[in-house]
Amino acid sequence: MTEQVDPLAPIIAALKEPVALAPDLTARIMASIEKLPRQPVAWWRRRWTVEMTPLRALAAAAGLAAIMFASQAAGRRAGLPSPEALATSPGSGRTQFVLVASEAKEVSLVGDFNDWSLSATPLERDGGNGVWSVTVPLLPGRYRYAYVVDGVLWRPDPEAPAAEDEFGRPNSVLTIGGA
């Protein structure tokens, strides 16, 4: 059996040749970035250095306990359910996301509500029927979201209105509570 040669192979090889960009391109890019405000560092990512004396540690522990007690009391006053109650009570703003993907090995839900994190909201497979689902507590509002199959394949929800993000990727839109 003779192997078929792609008639465009020399063209493709020529197109694959590396190109020489300006040596100072990296410097130009970094100069543009220097003009931008620094990345907003999320408070949980910042490095904190706290010097503690035994007396200060005691005071901090007391303060922390007071804050926890106050926030629980405030939650009860506002009628907010505890996280445990939210997980079990019906009609508490919980939204179920479902995707049929029989070939998938893993599916994640990414969206405005979880900072587009691939690891924050994995879907669970319902037996061997290819149905994946997860239930997420969401407050009223408008959310953009998508599914990511096997960590790479970006899928909008086929059952929801579509919207592109600024990178041209297809997302879906979910509106809760007529927001």
Partner 1 sequence: MTGPSDAQVIRRVLAGDREMYAQLVDRYRDRLGRYALRMLGERADAEDAVQETFVRAYRSLSRCEPDNFGAWVYGILVNRCRTNGARRARNNARMVADEAAMARASVAHTEERDTLRDAIHWALERLPTEQREAFLLKHVEDLSYETMEQLTGVRPSALRMRVLRARDGLRKLLAEAVRD
Contact assessment for residue 130 and residue 169, using Cβ atoms and an 8 Å cutoff: no
Site string for partner 1, 90-119 (x = CB under 8 A): -------------------------xxxx-
Sheet holding 94-100, edge to edge: 94-100, 131-137, 124-125
| CB of residue 127 to partner 1, shortest distance in Å | 25
Q: Is 32 in the site for partner 1 (CB under 8 A)?
A: yes
Contact assessment for residue 111 and residue 145, using Cβ atoms and an 8 Å cutoff: yes
Binding to partner 1 (CB under 8 A) within 11-30 occurs at 11-12, 14-16, 18-19, 21-22, 25-26, 28-30
Binding to partner 1 (CB under 8 A) within 41-60 occurs at 41-42, 45-47
Cα separation, 31 vs 29, whole angstroms: 5
| Closest by CA position to 60, among listed 47, 48, 42 | 48
Q: Report which residue type is found at 51.
A: E
Which residues are at the interface with partner 1 (CB under 8 A)? Answer: 7-8, 10-12, 14-16, 18-19, 21-22, 25-26, 28-30, 32-34, 36, 38-42, 45-47, 115-118, 151-154, 164, 166-170
